[in-house]
Amino acid sequence: MLDETPHKYFTTSRTNARPHKEGGKIAVHFAEAPKRNPETGLTSYSMIWPGLLVVDGITDPEGFAQTVADILNENAHRFFDSAKPKT
């Protein structure tokens, strides 16, 4: 059974996009919602991809990234068919 918690299409975490810099960079990642195949009962999960790297110089990179992710999640229905309201 799929978790009934709403899927977060956009999340934040550190990435190794700049491995030469200790700690990497903060990134906003995105992933499509899990999809269940009704014929097989199996669930497919998409890969999580970095969509935005937070640049150096932002005072609170974690807070900035979380704000961006929150705004994008509020508008996920504009980017993902699976986030559109079911009619």
pLDDT of 4-21, one tens digit each?
678 899 999 888 766 555
pLDDT band of 3, cuts 50, 70, 90:
low
Nearest Cα to 64, choosing from 48, 79, 53, 51? 53
The predicted model scores a pTM of: 0.75
pLDDT digits (tens, 9 = 90+) for 18-66: 655 566 678 899 888 888 899 999 999 888 888 888 887 889 999 999 9
